[in-house]
Amino acid sequence: MISESARAAAGNFLHNETQFHLGFLPTEQSNPLTREMDKKFARSSAEGVHNLLEVDFNVLQMAEKIFASIQFQTFADTMLSTLKSGKKVVFSGCGATGRLSILLESMWKQCCANSSACAPYADQVLSIMTGGDFALVRSVESFEDFQIFGKRQVQELALGQGDMLVAITEGGETSSVLGTLFEALDRKCTVFLLFNNPAELLAEKLERSRQAIRAPGVTVLDLCCGPMALAGSTRMQATTSEQLVAGAALELAARALSGSKAEDFVLNFRSVLEQLTAADAIQAMADFVDFESGVYRDHALLTYFADEFMLDIFTDTTERTPTFMLPPFVKCDDKISPPPWTFVKNPLYSTAETWNRAMLRKLRCLEWQREDYAAMHAPEKLITAPPEIDRDELLKFQIGNENTAARTVTGRDAAVMLTVCNRTTPEFIQAFRQHSGAFAKTAHLSLGGNTPGDFHIPFSCPASPVDLMEHMALKLVLNTVSTGIMAKLGRVSGNWMSFVNVSNKKLLDRGIRLVSELGGIPYEESCLAIFAAIEEVSRNTAPGETAPSIVQYVLNNLRR
């Protein structure tokens, strides 16, 4: 029997939350190129890898248009003039785009650390991540649904007239990111909005998007590049396009400040794609997909060890949790939750030192208390039990060289050293060898450079101030590998992430649509089944027990 509370919740979502019904957006739809992705990976990992990378060429087509546009020229010119005037440039995002925002800030600070011409501008580029830095390693559920949270984060950075806000939202509709945009407008900032759906479609269908797109003072960069390779997974082509465009503007600013000439970003990105789709690169990625999926199939854990590119790895590994319903990263004092399948550590430094090296700034976490949530009219559950997402809580995720034994609990666990274009040191390699000794398996995944590694992906690119193409290549590799691994493990149906976590309204709508399509039932019936399952699973899952995927739970019930 379906409870009255489940019926009421489903009815409320169907009739009162229509602004979160997003199936009309290209970023939420199934890409025809990858409709049989699960079958291709079942036949051959190399075939599956090639299929995934095909869709990334749509980003190249978008780049050819956007880099020639007056909007991008305005974007780049404004960024440079803002920096020269001593004002702040702030990237704002949520989820994958929030992690991108943090990465862009870090890329700029690393550039300034290496360039005397850029050094005076190091502290002028900042980032806002919905949920604060804590959300870099573990998603803060439901925060993206509230504009007021984004507004509050802009207030805490004290943005004002002359500052520049770059709001990045893959779908063009994320409430918390639009909240940062509206607050920045109120504070007389210059505002740019980057997203990946047709602007007119968003303006026609969604009130909050229409208000942002048509607001005086907002310059829109529509980076639409079609549906994702994995349906709805905007961590893939959508965020790739945003990283390319926003990173290019940073690169142009750095080159102008140092007096060097601009690069051809379209040509360079095409070279990245061509190198990664060469036969030997595809085979290396395919072999690594087989290796990592084999670790998980053996019910073991895998830990990436890295130094310079840790934020890039976090951007991918953290997103695996909501995308594929995997156990999230756990704090060192959590003795109940299951360990994450994947983790990231730096073998050279403590956790605090690792964060300092990755961020090149102090941690920027939210210290909000009950009274703060009450003042923002947050849901009662947040007022009653505020989430623990402050700096001290973030430091409990031991990403440094402490407690490596926590990742060797099954006796079959693997340690993977990840290097990019020779950007490593003998000290790092020695530290990896020291800490990986307790693991049953070790491997070296290398992108570019002249150190072959166990899985070597040939790649090279010209040196640049913010190392944009190195970051782009690594993102494409990690997206492809992690998606391929989940396809091999049966967590992808066709090209849908059938183990999606329904932890916010966007993901809830996505789960309803997925059940509707795969289960062959109307959206309304699927919605009711999802809300009933949420209640049943919550009631029947003990503390510390891994909850089943709501979508899979409903699909299994339908099959029965």
CATH of the domain at 404: 3.40.50.10490
Instruction: State which residues form the domain around 205.
Output: 57-263
Mean pLDDT of the chain: 95
d(CA 83, CA 289): 42
Q: Are strands 414-420 and 441-447 parallel, antiparallel or unpaired?
A: parallel
Residue 424 placed within a domain: yes
Residue 50 placed within a domain: no
Looking up tokens 């600070």 gives 109
Residue 37 placed within a domain: no
Whether the CB-CB separation of 464 and 253 falls below 8 Å is answered with: no
Instruction: For residue range 439-460, list pLDDT tens digits in order.
Output: 999 999 999 998 778 999 999 9
Q: Pick the closest to residue 42 from 491, 496, 511 (CA basis).
A: 491
Q: What is the mean pLDDT of residues 146-157?
A: 97
Same domain, 248 and 275: no
Residue 48 placed within a domain: no
Same domain, 65 and 206: yes
Same domain, 284 and 181: no
pLDDT score of 305 more than 80: yes
Residue 39 placed within a domain: no
Q: Pick the closest to residue 95 from 527, 513, 501 (CA basis).
A: 501
Q: Which of 488, 505, 522 is the last residue of a domain?
A: 488
Lowest mean pLDDT among 353-362, 492-501, 529-538: 492-501
Same domain, 292 and 394: yes
SS3 96: helix
Q: What is the mean pLDDT of residues 48-58?
A: 98
Same domain, 231 and 280: no
Q: What is the model's pLDDT at position 497? A: 86
pLDDT score of 543 more than 80: no
Split into its structural domains, the chain has a count of 3
Residues sharing a CB contact under 8 Å with residue 466, sequence separation 6 or more, in sequence order: 107, 108, 110, 111, 247, 250, 251, 254
Lowest mean pLDDT among 11-25, 97-111, 143-157, 426-440: 11-25
d(CA 374, CA 538): 26
Q: Which of 215, 245, 263 is the last residue of a domain?
A: 263
Q: Which of 447, 468, 488 is the last residue of a domain?
A: 488
pLDDT confidence band for 544 (50 / 70 / 90):
low
DSSP string, 375-421: HTT--HHHHHS----SHHHHTTS--SSS-GGGG--SS--EEEEEEET
d(CA 55, CA 64): 15
Q: Which helix (H) or strand (E) holds 225?
A: none
Instruction: For residue range 198-254, list pLDDT tens digits in order.
Output: 999 999 998 999 999 999 999 999 999 999 999 989 999 999 999 999 999 999 999
Lowest mean pLDDT among 158-162, 330-334, 380-384, 543-547: 543-547
Same domain, 254 and 208: yes
d(CA 59, CA 235): 13
Same domain, 441 and 513: no
pLDDT score of 546 more than 80: no
Alpha-carbon separation of residue 505 from 47, 61, 558 (angstroms) = 34, 31, 23
Percent of the chain having pLDDT more than 90? 85
Instruction: For residue range 7-46, list pLDDT tens digits in order.
Output: 999 999 999 999 889 899 999 999 999 999 999 999 999 9
Same domain, 383 and 504: no
Residue 364 placed within a domain: no
Q: What is the model's pLDDT at position 548? A: 84
d(CA 459, CA 468): 14
